[in-house]
Amino acid sequence: QVQLVESGGGVVQPGRSLRLSCAASGFTFSTYGMHWVRQAPGKGLEWVAVVSYDGGNKYYADSVKGRFTISRDNSKNTLYLQMNSLRAEDTAVYYCAKDKGDEYYYDSSGFYYFDYWGQGTLVTVSS
Amino acid sequence: DIQMTQSPSTLSASVGDRVTITCRASQSISTWLAWYQQKPGKAPKVLIYDASSLKSGVSSRFSGSGSGTEFTLTISSLQPDDFATYYCQHYDSYSGTFGQGTKLEIK
């Protein structure tokens, strides 16, 4: 069965960096796009970033562009989110999510809906 | 960037009621829209994709409709397990923008 397990969250001071990981299993990781989505305490879902199945295309929300970097290691079935210059407003539960569309779907139509999610990891930015 | 706006933000209803949640896109998105349900402390779960396709395993009490800029999620007869927060999401080649959410509360 598909499993996505996030790790790397914690308390960090403003301006510092943190790297999140998402370990994937139960599917062919290298053929699906992967997303990060966050949810601030008591707030709604905010899409953060996406990486295509081969790592060749990456897109970001304006709120994190230039500060966050999404990447993947298909040999390790792992997704990453490098977060730099963290701000208080980055405090949230961060979820990784699997795109429903495989490499063939992506090449013809782009990204699709999210069919599996991890349990989330909490990032708190505070001095 | 395309913005997604849901209404209402909060909806109070009773078991057995039929309810409708609306999602509007700032420009036409064809039918590139999904609906998710989220319960407190849990990850979201997809209910509907491509605006009107029911995800396998999801109750047929849920249905979606619309295209272009206006979409609806309808729950035909509310059950106790349906009280949750619902989000619409537009997906395309570059992002996966969510609406702000609709909290469905017990009246």
B46-79, pLDDT tens digit by residue? 999 999 999 999 999 999 999 999 999 999 999 9
Whether the CB of A105 is below 8 Å from some CB of chain B: the reply is no
Could you tell me which residues are beta bridge partners of residue A22?
A: A6, A79
Whether A118 and chain B come into contact, CB under 8 Å, resolves to yes
Give residue-wise pLDDT tens across range A1-18: 999 999 999 999 999 999
Nearest neighbour of B96 by CB, restricted to A47, A118, A119: A47
Nearest CA in chain A to B40: A42
- Average pLDDT of the residues of chain A: 96
The number of residues in chain B equals 107
| C-alpha distance across the termini of chain A, in Å | 40
Q: CB neighbours of A47 closer than 8 A, spacing ≥ 6?
A: A35, A37, A61, B89, B95, B96, B97, B98
- Could you tell me whether strands A121-125 and A10-12 are parallel, antiparallel, or unpaired per DSSP bridges? parallel
List CB contacts (< 8 A) between B98 and chain A.
37, 44-47
* Contact flag A115-B44 (C-beta cutoff 8 Å): no
- pLDDT of res. A33: 96
Whether residue A69 is predicted with pLDDT greater than 90 in this model: the reply is yes
Cβ–Cβ below 8 Å for A111 and B89: no
Residue A92 pLDDT exceeds 90: yes
Does residue A41 have a cis peptide bond before it, meaning omega lies within 30 degrees of 0?
no
